[in-house]
Every structure is written in C-alpha cells, then in structure tokens.
Structure 1
C-alpha cells in the first residue's frame, strides 16, 4: 500500500525548538536512568517461543544454538524481548523512523551505487516509526553487553557505552544546525573513517610523548593495530561481491554453475524433493516441481517494484538456480533464500537474497505500519534511514500470499566488525561511528532541531542512557542464563555450532 499524501505543516525553527523544550520539560534526560523490569514482565523464553511458531521448525534449534554462544549473541536475537521492555520506558514524544534493532552488529560497510564503501545501518527487519529513544537504548545496551563480553573493566565498558550516546547527542546538535538537503546528503564513507582514525593515532602518538608515557604508548599501539585492522577489513569488504560468492556457494556442473548443497545452511531447490517434500506441500503449499516456476513468478513481481532503470538492468539477468540459506541470529528460522542469476555468461553472476519480512517486534506496542506488505515496510524504512541503498531493493509476496519478502543483493562489498577481541579504544571509536550514524538516520526522518533541544548540551542524557544500558545488560544476563537453563533442561531445543 502506498502512503496517502497528507497536508504538510512547516513550523519555524523557533516553533521546533519550543517543541523540544516542552519535551525536555515533560521527559527530562535524567528520567532515562534507574530502569528496572516491570513486575509483570513476560517470561523471555516464552516470548522467543511465540516468535518461533511461524518459523521453519528444523531451523529453530539452530537459532537457539546461535543465541546460546554468549550473552551478546543472545541479545542479538532478543529484539522481541527488549521491545516489550522498552514500551514502558520514558519517551519525549519525538518520533523518527526507527531501525528497530540498532545493536552494534547491525552497523557496517557496503558499497554505494558509485562503488564507494560507506558505513551505515544495515538491518531493517524491525523498522517502524517510533520514539527515537528506543533505538538509542538498543544501541547503547549492545555496547555495554559487548564490553562485558570482551572482558573490559567496568570503567572501560562505561566509557565505550557513553561514547555511543555522546556521539548521537553531539551529532544531532550538528544536524540541527544544517540545511535540509545537507542532512539528506550527509554520509560516512571510507575516507571519512580513515581520516578520523589517522587523527586518533596522531593523538595517541602525541600523548605517548607526554608525562604518562607507559599507558599512552600502549594506547598508541592499540590505535595503530585498530587502524591496520580497519584497512584490512575494508580491503576484504571490496572482495565480497557476487563473483566471490560464486566461488564459495557455486559449483560448475556440465558447463553451468549451480548452488552447492551445504545442509542445513544452504539447501538448493533441486534437493527439496527429498529433503522438504512434506514441508513444501504442508507449509509452503507447493510441490517440489512447482518451486522454481513459483520463484520466477515472484521474480517478475519483485522487478515491478523497482525503478524503471533498475528494472531494465535486472532484465539482463536470468535465474539459473535458487536455494534456502540460513542467515544471522535473530532471523534464523524465518524463510530466507538466495537466487543465482547469470548475465552475459557464467562468469557474470548476480546473487540476490530473498528474506521473509514478518511484522516488526515494535508493532505490538506502537501503531502498525502503514504498509500492508512487510517487505515494503522494510524497503521503505531502509531507504529513509540509509544515506544510500542497494539498487536492487524490492519486495514481493511468497508462495503463500500471507507471507511477505524483500529482495536485495546478497553481497555488495558488505563488511562488519568482529566485536569479540576488540580492545576498549577500538570499540570506543566504533561506538562514536555508530552514534553519529544513528543520529543521521533519525535526523533524516525526524526533527533534529526538536530532538537536539530535548537532549540538551550537557551530559545528562549520556549518563542516564548509560545507566539504563548497564541495568539492561544485567537483565540480559539474567535472561540469557534463564534461556540456557531452558535448553539444558530440555524445555527448549538447540543445535550448537551450526
């Protein structure tokens, strides 16, 4: 469903500031501190079980196994749990388009259409308009949990968390003073990141010549190591394209490429007749022989959601194979597929990913999306939040018309950080990048002037959200332990190491 045109109002900057002042009065920054779980808080294991009812039964244990790895991986899969907790937290009444799951692993690099690496949010399954505080708290808590998971001291963990919130607040102040088009074009590319890292290295090098040389020299070494790893990660991201995916996921048979069978992670359609026949006929409503024709029908419907020039480009490719592919942590069990397409010849591949879009975890507590197709909800939210988006973003319905999907490139120079093993200085630098990026996303869709005034110029908001993050990390640890106990007791099935 396309959003209907509405009469737009254009309040003055003074009126927007007044709105921010009123919001700050009714919801002071300090009100975000002191969080404690509701007395009637639902059982977190039951909330996860409710999500599993619409997921692929054979993959649910895989999801659980991935969540069992650590409190951090549990947090990644627990967006539904946190959405339930956030509904009772203070909000200022200033909405923006939310990512809905803004933990630190959902930020990363990918290629812009101009083939430049950009850093941005990269997961929008839960996107929905709502209170900007929800995203900030989800992000901040992820840094606290990651810091603890990496064995940081309490002081270092707090510094990393605060850095993410401070970066958000200071960036919002920057956007509040910018023109509308300047905000829209603002982005963080690889040159911006490299320049910032060079400044950090220079600062630590200068400090190493000061009175506290021992600790400063150690920080200089850490900064240089982080810079080296960032350059290496960027180089690796540049190699992650459809041709590289073909080398990992494809095999040549009788002169043509097809997708390799790697169960349970990757299962090509040709294997479904024996592996998923009952599931296809029972849950999917199609026979094995009908799958590829159905995918081609959906491909044509998906193409119709693209801009004409991109549709024309995609028409140069033909589908040659398809497979089910398990992805992520929180997404495991939802229906996800990959499609191998061929352009001019077998050495001109294009991999597209098809991911199921269910209702956002926030829709149980916020107004439902204006889009009836959740695939469109995800795509439109992504386009609004990202500085630049995949040219092949589109949506369609599934074999079962009640299920919705969105399409995108499987790999387009996508890269993300490896959180485990990061040092405090490196994670603090990354926290600043994430905070700035989240503020830019909210400034595009919300009112940066009002939000800036609401946050204030002091550190009250930073301190309060950091306090929330620490308290929520404690609760996440308790939830994780309860979840692991449920697995060990046999209440919840899990397959580890997949």
Structure 2
C-alpha cells in the first residue's frame, strides 16, 4: 500500500532544525563521559566473535592489536553502545554506521572515472546524523594522535573535519534537490583541490629551496596546523600521483596477476592461508567435502544474480564461474565470511573478480531499531545506493545456504584506493579531514533533510567545538579500551595472530 509523503515548506524545514537546536543545543555534544554501567569492551568483541570463523578470530585480534587506531577501526560495536547514550537532535539520515576515515576512498564510477566517496556500508542503518559525525571526527583524533601530531594539531584536524561537514551541509541546504543528488567528488576536482592545498602548504611554510629555512607559519584553512616544507610538499605530490596511478591499475586484470596461477591451461586462485584459502582446500576449514561447495557457490551466485536489474543479469550471464576462495579483508570484518569469485568472459584473458562479504546484523541494531530489511545483504546494498553518489553496477545480495547467513556482492578491485593514514603529515590529515567531512555531508544530504540539519548546526562553531571535545574524550577512552584489549591478549584470555 503506497505511503503518503508529506512535503513541508522550506520555512517549515528550517523551523524543524531550529526547534531541534533549542531542545538539544549543539554544544550539548561536549562533555562526554563513559556510562557507569558501560560494558566490558573485550566482552563486546568476544560477543561478535561467536558468529565468526574461529580460525580467523586470532587474525582479527592481531590486526586490531597493531595500534590504537587499528583497534578503533575494529571497535564499531563498542562505539555503537557508547553512542546510544549521547544526545541527538532527532534529525535522521541513512547512516554509514562505521564512518571512520579509512572507510573513505576512491573507486570507479560506471563511466570509468575515479570518484571519492564512502566505501564501506556493513553497518548502515537509518539513525541520528550525529552518530556518523562523531565516529568520523573521533577517528581523526585517534589517527592524529597515533601519527604523533601535537595536541593543537590533533584538535585543529578534528575540528576542521566537523567544520567542513557543517559548511558543506549549508551549501547543500541552498541547492536544488537534483543538484544535491548529482553532487559528487570526481578525480579532476580531487586533483584541483590537492594541487591548491599543496601550493598553500608550501607557501605557508615560508621555506627556502631546500625547505629548511624560514619561520614556520600556520597553513591552509585550519588555524593551528603546521605547514609543510617544499621537500614534504614534493613528497606528498609524488604519493598522491602514485596512489592515483595505482588506483587506475587496480582492476580484474591486476587481480588476476596477483591472486591467481595457471594450471593446465586454466587460471585458479592461489593458496595463501589463512588470508586466502581456495575452494579446493576449504573442506579443511568447514569440514565439508569439496564437491559440496560447488552446489553452495552456484546457489549463492544464482540468488545474487536475481538481485540485479535485468540488463545487468544479462551482462553477468556472459561470465562463468571459474574458481572461488575465502579471502580475509579489513580489520573489523575479519572472521565474518568473505570470499572472492573468479569469473571468465569471452576467454581466459577476460576476467572478472567479484567479492562476496557476509552481512551480519548492524552494530547499530539494538541502540537503534532493527532494519526494515530482514535480509542483511539487502540492507547493506540499499544503504550503499542511497548514500553513494555512484555505485558499482555489480552491487547485489544473496542468501546463504545456512540459515541466518546473508551476503552482498560487488567487484573486488574496481580502481579502488585509500589513503595511507599512518604516513600523513598534520597538514595532509587536515586536508583529508575536510574532504571526508564534505563527503559525509553530501551522503547525509541525499537521505536526510539538509535544510533542517543545516538550521540545527547553525553558522557558528559551537557544534564543531563540541564534537572536537567529544572526540578528544573518546580518543582517551579508546586508549584505555586498547590497553584492556592488549591485557586480554597478554593474559591469554583471547588469542592474537599478528602480521597476517
């Protein structure tokens, strides 16, 4: 039965935001403290591990143990519990659910152009826009501290990210509806922004040719961020150019050369356990005969193909499945079932690699109402399509053979690239923070009401300062949680396998 849509006037939408601002002032987001009955963070991680492949749980722990930042990446469940007690304006959007800075990056649009956007939606769910902003801002505080930035730099980096979100939302509030929907950050725009930033950073440093002379000054739009020497500018430019070229080269052909081997005139996926375990060896992991897996993958593939639009089903029918394997990915998702599938088109030189990731219940389901989609893979796909300006044509979902197992599918390598966070200087982190802030605002403006949200945020920096304060306090809590996690490993409460 169709639902009637109520259309408010522009003035009524602005009034909603102003009313929310009265009931939950923007500065109320400051002063966060952990709840007195806050659950043990290690117990929350152990709870998540119950549904994960047991042989990969130590790998997950090892990756989280690398640093406080990698721990934060894997601790979305912990933060979801903490966010449940924070003040919210009541203004809803489609949340990424895990909007930390490493879940942003470049990938190919269907027109084969590089675009920058959010690229992980495992936890997506409708909810208060503040949840994503706090998750993103705190990730910059944690990353800045992890990179050895000074306290003023870390604060300025974090605040710059939030300011960018607020200012971008004001821009979207003044745009026409379709203009908001079509807005995106393309490769040429990224390059122009990067070039302008590097030029400003070099001038701000006021250095000589060798980059060692001159008084250090403030740089760019973020007061408090130290500038870059000419040498650092050139190194950063080289890294950007190298990463852009690398992204363009990351496709199924490149994956074929890296992840497969030729045996008897046919390609098959290489074996590199525990990270990559091909189908021919999976019986060791799951205790089923190799022949059983062929039926499993056919059923999964058939269900996935049915989730695509008719013309894309026709396209996919031109490819046949050649091989598949379990492949470990990420940090927080390690242990959930993830596979890669090698397909072949017209001949052996026409490969297509698809990635299949298990979609579990969002960490926000509990703090927030359950998803309207009973199938978690469908939840992820619809959330991604709603938030991204441009999505993979092969994005789809399927139901697993075992009850309660759901998956979503996408291309494995489609010009995907991400920032090497640990290598970023303070000024580079500040630039990246502004870029992510703009991108998150654009994603929220597609599903939420940019007019109401902008009216709530206002024109001053009270919201920016409050979220920066929250982020600093949460980074301190993350350090404590990381220490508790490390203690759990050293005491043999949980196992960890590092450098995998």
Where on the TM-score scale, by shorter chain, does this alignment land: which range? over 0.9
Change (3 A) 1:205 1:318: same
8 Å contact 1:165–1:462 — kept in the other structure? yes
SS in 1 for 2:149: coil
Deviations 1:195-214 (A, max 9, x none): 11222233234445699943
Change (3 A) 1:468 1:175: same
Q: Which residue of 2 aligns with 1:111?
A: 108
8 Å contact 2:207–2:230 — kept in the other structure? no
8 Å contact 2:105–2:119 — kept in the other structure? yes
User: Which of 252, 255, 259 is the matching residue for 1:245?
Assistant: 255
Q: Distance in 2 between matches of 1:19 and 1:227?
A: 44
Q: Which residue of 2 aligns with 1:8?
A: 5
Q: Distance in 2 between matches of 1:210 and 1:119?
A: 32
Change (3 A) 1:37 1:489: same
Q: Distance in 2 between matches of 1:370 and 1:112?
A: 28
Residue pairs, 1:70-89, within 5 angstroms: 70-89=67-86
- Counterpart check, 1:265 vs 2:262: no
- Counterpart check, 1:162 vs 2:159: yes
Q: TM-score, normalised by structure 2?
A: 0.95
Q: Distance in 2 between matches of 1:478 and 1:303?
A: 45
The 10-residue stretch of structure 1 (34-43 or 393-402) with the greater mean CA deviation from structure 2: 393-402
8 Å contact 2:207–2:229 — kept in the other structure? no
Residue pairs, 1:205-284, within 5 angstroms: 205-207=202-204, 213-216=214-217, 218-273=228-283, 275-276=284-285, 279-281=286-288
Q: Which residue of 2 aligns with 1:427?
A: 429
Deviations 1:311-333 (A, max 9, x none): 11111100010111111100000
- Counterpart check, 1:135 vs 2:132: yes
Q: Which residue of 1 aligns with 2:147?
A: 150
- Equivalenced residues, count: 487
- Report the Cα offset of residue 218 of structure 1: 3.8
Q: TM-score, normalised by structure 1?
A: 0.96
Q: Distance in 2 between matches of 1:152 and 1:23?
A: 35
User: Which of 406, 416, 420 is the matching residue for 1:418?
Assistant: 420
8 Å contact 2:69–2:139 — kept in the other structure? yes
8 Å contact 2:123–2:364 — kept in the other structure? yes
Q: Which residue of 2 aligns with 1:125?
A: 122
Q: Which residue of 1 aligns with 2:224?
A: none
8 Å contact 1:66–1:73 — kept in the other structure? yes
Deviations 1:171-197 (A, max 9, x none): 000000000000000000111111112
Q: Which residue of 1 aligns with 2:223?
A: none
User: Which of 359, 364, 367 is the matching residue for 1:365?
Assistant: 367
SS in 1 for 2:54: coil
Deviations 1:249-292 (A, max 9, x none): 1000000000001111101111123x23xx344xxxxx431111
- Counterpart check, 1:452 vs 2:449: no
8 Å contact 2:28–2:466 — kept in the other structure? yes
- Report the Cα offset of residue 223 of structure 1: 3.6
The 10-residue stretch of structure 1 (208-217 or 438-447) with the greater mean CA deviation from structure 2: 208-217
User: Which of 331, 337, 340 is the matching residue for 2:339?
Assistant: 337
Q: Distance in 1 between matches of 2:415 and 2:403?
A: 32
Change (3 A) 1:218 1:96: closer
Q: Distance in 2 between matches of 1:106 and 1:266?
A: 22
